[in-house]
Structure 1
Amino acid sequence: MRISIKVRSAFAIILIVIFTAFLLGWSQVNRAETQNKLLMQEFGRSTLDSLAFVCKEPLLNEDTTFLKSLVGQVAQNNEVLVYMLITDRTGKIIVHNDLTKCNQQFILPPPREILDFSSEIFFQDFKLGTLHMGMSLKIIHAELNRMKKSIILLTSIITFVGIILASILGFFISKPISKLVDGTKQIGKGNFSYRVPVIRNDEIGDLSKSFNSMVDNIERDQMIKDAFGRYIPPEIAKQILENPSKTWMKGEKRIVSVFFADIRDFTKLSQQEQPENVTRLLNDFFTEATQIITDHKGLVDKFMGDAIMSVFSIPFQDEYHADHAVEAAISLQRKLESFNLKRRNDNIVQIEIGVGIASGEVIAGNLGSSQRMEYTVIGEIVNLASRLTKYAKGKEILISQATYNLLKRRLPKYKSKTIDLKGIKEPVEVYNIDYSAE
């Protein structure tokens, strides 16, 4: 059964209050009982010693009349005194404040009910008798019972007040903890903007500050992860963030497919259109291109003006990287057809792109300065893919011989030819993909 902190803390405080009140009350009762008995003993002993001295001569002279008068006077109107009597040497009652008990053998009463005081009376070395005085403990017990009732009443009042205070204190303690629980639920739902109000200057306040600091770090990491995830598939971004020290982050040689897509006649278009229209066009195009590339397990490397560069098979090995690159190019060209159709219906300028893909060995890793790093690839293949893109006409997809050789799936129709590219010494065998054939 789940019991909240508020209830448990309130219950603990109530128990402490009740136990403390009971302990103090019980201690007070015991102290009062002890003090009353001591006072009664002191009074009884002093009274008895005085009477024993007075009774010595009458007892020696067997003056029972005087003794009866003395005992009667002492016992008269005395609620505490139960009996006063004088016995002879054998314990037989000579004088008693209750005359019916004279000439009887004295039996000591139970100590829990009566406190008995006795004093032997001597004449020189001869024992004349014993003076007994019994004082009732009922008055003490009655006083103690009254005190107990008062303590019970006081304990009840303290308990009632304690329940109220404990409830308030429990609420005061549990409320910020409940806020923290709510905060963890909000974070679990992905609401990283949630912060716990810090209204206390104590340990709970420190806990709230620590929670907010933790959420700040989580939010910052999530922002980095989200930003990173815009360029690579989320599952890859997650692995990179979880394993930042992997070899592929430091630099390694890899066989990859490099993909470039470039908008044709963009310079002319940017001169004819308003800047905000050009910016909106590029963002719309890059959004579509990025989604298609990441859907095909590609990594968006960078945006370069009106061009986008992506790489397949980094940071994780993909044996179908050539197929995925070609399929991404075909999907992008087809997507551009619907993209342009919508713009045509809205009487907005349309665009065409050329795509170039080359496959081979590159160096992949983090490049840059201590202030800014970029995960990218370098090598001749990057230059070849860029040159193929420049050579490709609008709506064309050109792939290199190496890319063609790495394909594991059936290609649509294509045309092959040998071309000369700027910056490339030898003629290059290229394949023009006819994606309209599917």
Structure 2
Amino acid sequence: MMRAVTVSAPETPEAAAPGGAPAPPTEPAPDASDALRIKWYRRFHVRLTAAQGGVVFLVLTVMAAVFYQLGYHAELTGLQGRLRATVATLALHVDVPAIAALDPAGEPNSPEVRALYQRFKAVAGTDKDISTIYLLRKTADPGRLRFVIDYANSGDAGRPGQLYDASKLPKMREGLEQVAVESQLWGDEFGLSLSGYAPLKLPSGESVGLVGVDVDAVRVRKMSQRVLTTTLALYGVAGLMLVLLAFWTGRRIRGPLAEINAAAARIAAGDFVGRAHIARKDEFGLVARHFDTIAASLQERDFIRDTFGRYVSAEVARRVLGDRTMAALGGEEREATILFSDIQGYSTMNEKVDPHEMIDVLNSYLGAMNEVIDAHEGVVIEFVGDAILCVFNTPNDVNEHAQRAVRCALAMRERLATLNAEWIHTRVGEVWRESGYSELMTRVGIHTGTVVAGNIGSRTRMKYGVLGDVVNVAARLEQLNKQLQTSILFSQATWERLDGDLKARVVPQGKHAVRGREAGVEVYAL
């Protein structure tokens, strides 16, 4: 009984419609002159330029708005910082107990008041942004304060003892307990301003009032106007430059597009001889070169598409692309060496290990073994669970294929030892030890002989397979490892093709019966 192991590929679509119906009619190929009939506002370079200009102006508008907001915020934050520092410093120089002892009705001529008034005047004189500095005391009404001092550079000032309504100024009320600065302009009977406040507290911690500093709204508006002017100037210059750039870009696109469109129309019409001929070192030149390559290679398109839809192995695919006869049904007899590998105790581990963890380990194992097989010029025909079937000397010619297969088995065992060191502390490692194994082990069977390798199936769906007694014997030798307590077994046919170095390391195991064959097989172990 022959054993066939195959790799299947997805069906290749037929040219005809399902059920044998004729294929739907194709649209007529476009003509190169079609581009000349496109209305100007539908042409790509016009729409691209318009879209680019629109996006650019939108981006510029957003950037200008953001720049204005950031600039204004930066200026405002700086001004607020100065207000905070100024008002906090002024509060430190106020004799709070003396202020608390003053008559609530006001004592403008007291030494303390006169001294503070002069200090406020001096501070306002050194900072032209400050319009007013004042000192307010608390009253029995939480929403009302009383003026003690009010220095104003210009305009009306509060009289000593005059009440001030702070019920609608939460920041001012907050300033009775901690330093606070308004985030926006506020208006009252004295005008529109940006204000900062610092509390006046007795040694006991009780607040008796606050010191306030106002910056006139004119100063804030000038600051805003300066930022806006700068923003608009930058916006205008950038907009003009980008408009010119968009116009230049449109002109640079129009010519190459016309040439590429003409080349594409010729290719669509089946003229693979024509070329784009755009000698540019940019994307248009690259696209043109691709067009030229497409025109030269379209004859291979259907063949390559069908071929890659049928084959999985990279080696098989490369062979088929180089030899069209390989895509036909049928096979060829070749001498080859078959290597069959399986994990010892895999079924037990599947029962005890979480499937997600097991699949990760299995993928790592198969990936590592595949790399070793590729390095020894083997071709993986199939993964069946944990089992690996690979072949040497088909579809490609491999010198000393039997020796490469044996050395591949040794390298696989060495690579497995490295993986075992990585897995020893995982749940999989625990299961091995619980099952009586010190580590993950594999069994390998190798046999050399004549196989039939080729395509099996139909014209629309085929499989690449390796058939013959050689495949069966390799699988049986892999199983025989369990009986002989070995890990790598190969037949005499393989042993005869080894060099002296490998033969010196071989341990003969005698002749053994193999299921499916009448005669026994001489086997050797490594």
TM normalised by structure 2 equals: 0.41
Larger Rg: 1
Which structure would you say has the larger RCO, counting Cα contacts within 8 Å and 6 or more residues apart? 2
